[in-house]
Amino acid sequence: MATVPNVDNKRYQGLIISIALFLSLIGALLAFTFYTSNLLERNTALIDQTNQVANSAQAVIKDLFDLDSSYGEDTNSPHIQRVLSRLEQNTALITSSIAAIEQGSTITDAEGNSYDLPKIDSQAQTNIAAANEQWKALEPKIQTYLKDADNIMVTSADELTQAVEQAKTSSLFINDSLDNLTKDVFDSAQRQATTIRLIQVLGVAAIFTYFLIFVFFFVRRLRETDAEALAARQETQEIMETVNTGLFLLDKDLNIGQQHSRALNNIIGSDSLAGENFTNVLRGRISDKDLKTTQQFIEQLYNPRVKEKLVDSLNPLNKVMLHNLSDDKSLDNRFLDFKFSRVYDNKDIARILVNVNDVSDAVYLEQRLEKERSQNDMQIEMLTTILNVNPKIINEFIGNTQAHIEKMNNILKNPGSSQYELEGKLKAIYREMHSLKGEASALKLHSFTKIASDAEDKLHALQNQGQLSGNDFLPLAVHLDDLLSLSNTIATLGERINRSAPTAAKSSTVQAPIATQSPVADHAASNADFDGGLDIDLDNEADDDLLSFYNEFTKEIAARQGKQVQLKSTTLTQTSIPANLAKPIKEISIQLLRNAVVHGIESPSVRHATGKTDVGIIDLEVQDNGSNFMLVVQDDGQGINYDSIRNKLIEEGRFGTEETNQLSKGDLLKQLFSSGFSTKEHADEDGGRGVGLDIIKAKVKEYDGKLNVNSELGQMTRFVITLPKA
């Protein structure tokens, strides 16, 4: 298994010392070679410099003879000027070069390169001193001549003659001295080169001999170590072949070790895992979010400042589902449980040991038990509702649920050919689903509410999608089927309670046929027929129960919203609602009450700050005017903020800033009642999707009614719904 060994320094001390000595020998040889190369380079520069002095001396003598033979020529002629310039340069060069050779200082050639000259021996010093002595006899005469050589007013013939005569005498001595100096330097360089070659040969021989000794003594030890490692690896391999869990190591780069248990291949579902990156193995098989969290989790495991027990509680791969990526569709997705443990080298975190088990059977069992538990909880919830709510309201809910589902099924059957038709289809389904959710929420049937909320999430996503197609509506059939199943359950439970109750009224059966011509609706319609609830005449108690129903409904919403609300009504229990208007009045009342609590009534802190009582008041009144029936819902909340509506319209891009500012209050109210528009920042179970007021508008329009809204900012909002009785 690929682990970091615990290095025994004493065991490898001899090997380390031998390698260090071997490298020291090589380093010493390289250093000596570098030093001798530098010395040879300096000797070469010295030879070049002596040759240059000799050449310059010859050039000086030649130029003096040239000037002597050309005496009388115009000193401003190009020839004379060129010779004088060259004579002056060579004179200065000889003076500086002889001084540099004597002192062993730094020189610079014509190309600007600098060289360090070596210190010369006594014989060379004698030669350079002799050359310098002769040059000192010649150089002053040259300088005396050059002083007035180009001045036509001064005769320099004598100075030139003296310089030429001295040059005849000194040139031979200078050349001989420089030749001897060059020979001495060359001989010295040859001796050094011979010594260098000898030392290099001896050094290479010593290094090679030492290398052979090193190989002879230590290869044998390495063989013994390899044999021990092979035996240990064999033992580890036998363990890895035997264990039933997936074991492997992860390094800091999330690479899987070269050895792992055989069971890991079957658990992960891959034949080649050694050396693979753990993220690549998981990519596509878990969500991108979980994959990123896993990377961060393992990084924290390598952080020594983080306690292992603390970070283990954040394990994102605890009973995680691994999706099947193979072409074999018969293989199911697996639930795997990954456990991570640190592997230490002394006090350092060397690797992460991963233990993975296939816990699919245990998870499926848990899911089955959870499903059964959820069904039991759901039935208890339904039983609680049936036992605590007026049977007539339960019957109405079952009937309304069937009606809503039937309407949605009929809407789904209409394929729609244009974007306008598809958007209308979406809005209609949204309204029916929201109405159904409202009634379920009022009865505290959270199972219904959850399914309807999930369906609304999909509808909301479609509403923001832009381009729609008929296939986008297909997933809704599952939700309709679930709602029908729950409706059947509550109806069956109600009928069983009715049969077991000695004073219960005779139950009736309600058939809920749903058209099955549409493929989308077929699945939803599979459970279309169900038994209805109780059909009992409650006489005058019905309106009292309805008020109690509304009161509990508003208080539950207020509790979720962190508000306090009191519902009042003086006419609901005294006025008989026409049978043909009972359903729309109830649906509209539910939406208006929810709207009042969510959007109208302020939180206690806000109300207290504005001088209001902490408890918000909602009035719900009904009135029979003979030909019409009126519903009035008024709250003492914050009123309608038209500026907020304008800002929201601009924010959502429905209108431009200038166009929005020109909208009247009536125009703004129309936008408030449009589908999908809401001033609430975040949607929740009770509001924020922009459907409630759209339902009210659709219901009023369906029954040829009238809708009136009156509001005072910071004071109140009143909705007046007028529906014809005929």
Entry pTM: 0.44
Cβ distance 675 to 427 under 8 Å?
A: yes
Q: Does residue 508 surpass a pLDDT of 60?
A: no
246-358 with 541-641+679-726: one CATH topology? no
**Confidence check: pLDDT of 365 > 90:** no
Confidence band of 653 (pLDDT split at 50, 70, 90): confident
Percentage with pLDDT > 90 across the chain? 9
**What amino acid occupies position 675?**
S
Looking at per-residue confidence, does 9 or 48 come out higher? 48
Whole-number pLDDT of residue 529: 36
Worst-scoring range by mean pLDDT, 21-35, 149-163, 637-651? 149-163
Domain positions in the chain: 13-214, 246-358, 389-538, 541-641+679-726
What mean pLDDT do residues 393-410 have? 77
- Quickly state the pLDDT bin for 329 (edges 50, 70, 90): low
Q: 668 is written with which tokens? A: 């703004």
CATH of 246-358 among 3.90.1530.10, 1.10.10.10, 3.30.70.1150, 3.30.450.20: 3.30.450.20
pLDDT value, residue 665: 83
| Calpha distance 578→582 (Å, rounded) | 6
pLDDT of 81 > 70? The answer is yes
Look up residue 506 and give its DSSP letter. P
β-pair partners for 358? 336
* 361 pLDDT more than 50: yes
Per-residue confidence band for 614, with pLDDT thresholds at 50, 70 and 90:
very high
- The pLDDT assigned to 498 comes to 62
What CATH number belongs to 13-214? Answer: 1.20.120.230
Number of residues written out for the chain: 726
| Mean pLDDT score across all residues of the chain | 78
Mean pLDDT, range 61-86, rounded to an integer? 80
Q: Pick 95 or 150 by higher pLDDT.
A: 95
Q: Quick count: other Cβ atoms within 10 Å of Cβ 413? A: 15
Which of 4, 49, 724 is CA-nearest to residue 349?
A: 4
- Enumerate the β-bridge partners of residue 247: 355
User: pLDDT tens digits for 486-504?
Assistant: 777 777 776 766 665 554 3
Q: What are the tokens at 161?
A: 């003659």
The token duo for 21 is: 């000595």
* pLDDT of 294 higher than 50: yes
pLDDT at 527 over 50: no
Q: Which of 512, 513, 508 is nearest to 533 (CA)?
A: 508
Which amino acid is residue 182, in one-letter code?
Answer: T
Model pLDDT for residues 621-643, shown as the tens digit of each residue: 999 988 999 999 999 999 998 88
Q: Does pLDDT of 423 surpass 80?
A: no
Mean pLDDT calculated for residue range 410-430: 76
Residues 274/275/280/282 CA torsion (nearest 10 deg)? 40
Cα(510)–Cα(420) distance, rounded to whole angstroms? 36
pLDDT of 375-394, one tens digit each? 676 667 666 766 666 677 77
12 pLDDT tier (thresholds 50, 70, 90): low
Segment 24-35, tens digit of pLDDT = 888 887 887 887
Task: Give which of 499, 490, 585 is closest to 547, Cα–Cα.
Answer: 585
- Residue of higher predicted confidence among 609 and 499: 609
When pLDDT is cut at 50, 70 and 90, the band that residue 536 belongs to is very low
DSSP string, 274-319: TT-BHHHHHBTTB-HHHHHHHHHHHHHHT-TTS-HHHHHTT-TTTT
- Predicted local confidence at residue 426, as pLDDT: 77
What mean pLDDT comes out for the span 200-212? 84
The whole-number average pLDDT for the span 427-453 is 76
pLDDT above 70: percentage of residues in the chain? 85
**Per-residue pLDDT, 10:** 62
Going by pLDDT thresholds of 50, 70 and 90, the confidence category of residue 564 is very high
Tell me the C-alpha distance between 286 and 317, whole Å: 9
Residue 261 reports pLDDT greater than 80: yes
Question: Poorest-confidence range of 207-221, 350-364, 683-697?
Answer: 683-697
pLDDT at 443 over 80: no
Q: Is the pLDDT of residue 298 over 60?
A: yes
pLDDT at 44 exceeding the cut of 60: yes
For 541-641+679-726, CATH number? 3.30.565.10
Closest C-alpha among 402, 456, 440 to residue 587: 440
- Residues 128-135: what's their mean pLDDT? 82
Segment 685-702 shows an average pLDDT of: 78
Judged against a pLDDT cut of 60, whether residue 518 lies above it is answered with no
Higher pLDDT, 279 or 461: 279
